[in-house]
Amino acid sequence: MAHKTDDFSTGILHAGGMKDQYGALITPIYNTSTFVFDSTDQGAARFALEEPGYIYTRIGNPTCTELETVLAMLEGGEAAIATASGMGAITATIWTLISAGEEIVADKTLYGCTFEFFQHHLSRFGVKINFIDMSNEDELKAALNERTRIVYLETPANPNLKITDIARTAEIAHSFNPEIKVICDNTFATPYLQKPLSLGADVVVHSATKYLNGHGDLIAGAVISDQETINQILLVGIKDMTGAVLAPNEAYLFMRGLKTLSLRMERHCNSAMKIARYLEKHEKIEKVFYPGLESHEGHDIASRQMRLYGGMISFIVRGGRDNAARVADSVKVATLAVSLGAPETLVEHAASMTHSTYNDEELIAAGIPGGLIRLSIGLEDPDDLISDLEQALAQAE
Ligand SMILES: Cc1ncc(COP(=O)(O)O)c(C=O)c1O
């Protein structure tokens, strides 16, 4: 029997509560592609969704079900699907909810491959994307029309930590048309810091490659929503359109990492706050983007909708791209690599790496200048990271 609790740290360990025949504490890995039927009638009944039970791992697997139960509980949704990657979660969701001739309103500042999917690929299938500044209510109201099916945002956004008011965005979208699905990518915040569904969003997507797994050893994603929407995404976006299902081995790793989410997030956030304050005073830095700083444009909204301010920081090095590259190339404790949410601190240059899918004009419109460096603050001693950044920043001219 699953332990019922609202407490995050207890719930994360007890929400699933699956018991196998041996009483294993840890969820077994069901490494099977298919499941045996007792009869043709039983197989037919399962395919017709008239009888519960597993059919084939692309459509469901007990190890993944256990993980999905925990994910739904953490985000406060009715159901979840674990996916093969964050992009698998995003594309399976969008392919399910949109058709040719319909429109998406999306924030201009998105993870580079999400932007690329919207800007250059979805548009090939007759879907129109209206990129706006989602934090500007007037732009949102002006962009909505009778063909709008999806409003899509990240908050904090990748890579510049832009904050959008989730409750206000959902209120505007739903008062225009209650059928519009507001989709929030909650990768940067995680449900430990922010629960978009409780603020009015309809669907949450994640790159679980990042904080949810938290160990840098796995590519995975997740979608969380109401039961009906999750059923649709499973049976259309996952089963037929992308096949982006998570394998049972990966579900095991994901669950193993997820158990320590609250501990890790506290440490990531506290260290990031300290490092952001240090960076803000540095003479070689033009601007620091961290929602916990009073100087951040979205600080008040972040204070309302987030528990803490996250482990991601971006900053603009004076002198543009070349100086930013000098700093990124000079770190010794931190590591020059894309991705985020790992135990190790990672540094990247967004314009030439994760956001190289944006052209120069799009980068400027999205607030991603050439001097911007993105930091994923890891679990090292924050003072070691400050010393490392100090010596790296000394290399900037
Ligand atoms: C905010 C955000 N969403 C989605 C993705 C895509 O996730 P994945 O790399 O797991 O496919 C990323 C990857 O960096 C991301 O940062």
Write the pLDDT tens digit of every residue in 122-181.
Answer: 999 999 999 999 999 999 999 999 999 999 999 999 999 999 999 999 999 999 999 999
65: domain range?
A: 8-30+61-258
Contacts of 382 (CB under 8 A, 6+ apart): 270, 271, 274, 275
Same domain, 235 and 320: no
Q: How many angstroms from the chain centroid is the CA of residue 117?
A: 16
For residue 23, the model assigns a pLDDT of: 93
Q: Which residues of 272-288 are buried (b: 16+ CB within 10 A; e: fewer)?
A: bbbbbebbbebebbebb
Q: Are 180 and 150 in contact (CB under 8 A)?
A: yes
Closest atom of ligand 1 to 89 CA is 11
**Residue 380 located in a structural domain:** yes
Is 160's C-beta closer than 6 angstroms to any atom of ligand 1? no
Residue 230 forms part of a structural domain: yes
Pocket-testing residue among 113, 203, 217, ligand 1, by greatest number of atoms within 8 A of Cβ: 113
Gap from CA of 139 to ligand 1 centroid (Å): 26
| Atom of ligand 1 at shortest range from CA of 208 | 10
Instruction: Check if 207 has its Cβ closer than 6 Å to any atom of ligand 1.
Output: yes
Regarding whether 213 and 130 lie in a shared domain, the answer is yes
| pLDDT at 1 > cutoff 60 | no
Asked if 68 and 209 sit in the same domain, the reply is yes
Q: In what order do the strands lie in the sheet with 346-349?
A: 285-289, 312-317, 372-376, 346-349, 335-336
**Euclidean distance between the first and the last CA atom of the chain, given in angstroms as a whole number:** 62
Note whether residue 315 is domain-resident: yes
Mean pLDDT of 19-29: 93
Residue nearest to atom 2 of ligand 1 (CA): 111
Note the pLDDT tens digit of each residue in 313-372. Answer: 999 999 999 999 999 999 999 999 999 999 999 999 999 999 999 999 999 999 999 999
The confidence score (pLDDT) of residue 4 equals: 52
Is residue 93 located within the same domain as residue 220?
yes
- 203 and 295 within one domain: no
Q: Please tell me the distance from the alpha carbon of residue 389 to that of residue 376, in angstroms, as a whole number.
A: 13
Residue of minimum CA distance from atom 14 in ligand 1: 339
What pLDDT digit, counting tens, does each position of 48-80 carry? 999 999 999 999 999 999 999 999 999 999 999
Q: List the CATH number of the domain containing 307.
A: 3.90.1150.10
Provide the pLDDT confidence category of residue 19 given band limits of 50, 70 and 90: confident
Identify whether residues 23 and 92 lie together within a single domain. yes
Q: Would you state the pLDDT for residue 6?
A: 62
Q: Which residues are the active-site residues?
A: 58, 111, 185, 210
| In a domain? residue 51 | no
Q: Where do the DSSP E strands lie in the chain?
A: 79-83, 103-107, 128-132, 148-154, 181-185, 203-207, 221-225, 285-289, 312-317, 335-336, 346-349, 372-376
Tens digits of per-residue pLDDT, 241-262? 999 999 999 999 999 999 999 9
**Mean pLDDT, the chain, whole residue set:** 96
Residues 160 and 372 sit within 8 Å (Cβ to Cβ)? yes
User: The CATH number of the domain where 238 resides is what?
Assistant: 3.40.640.10
Nearest residue (by CA) to ligand 1, atom 8, is 86
Atom of ligand 1 at shortest range from CA of 209: 10
pLDDT value at position 2? 47
Q: Is the pTM of this model over 0.85?
A: yes
**pLDDT value at 224 more than 60:** yes
216 lines ligand 1 (CB under 6 A): no
Alpha-carbon Rg for the chain, nearest whole angstrom, is 21
pLDDT at position 11 is 87
Q: Is the C-beta atom of 221 inside 6 A of ligand 1?
A: yes
DSSP string, 283-304: TTEEEEE-TTSTTSTTHHHHHH
State whether the beta carbon of 27 lies less than 6 angstroms from ligand 1: no
Give the residue from 339, 359, 373, 378 showing the smallest Cα distance to 85. 339
Residues 286 and 319 in one domain: yes
- 93 found inside a domain: yes
CB of 111 sitting under 6 A from ligand 1: yes
Q: Does one domain contain both 202 and 272?
A: no
Which of the four pLDDT bands, split at 50, 70 and 90, describes residue 14? Answer: confident
Query: In this predicted structure, which of 15-24, 84-93, 202-211, 288-297 has the lowest mean pLDDT?
Result: 15-24
pLDDT classification of 283: cutoffs 50, 70, 90: very high
The verdict on 251 and 279 lying in the same domain is no
Q: Determine the residue of 209, 212, 312, 346 to mutate for testing ligand 1's pocket, defined as the one with the most ligand atoms within 8 A of the Cβ atom.
A: 209
pLDDT at residue 3 tops 50? no
Question: Does the residue 40 lie in any domain?
Answer: no
pLDDT score, position 359: 96
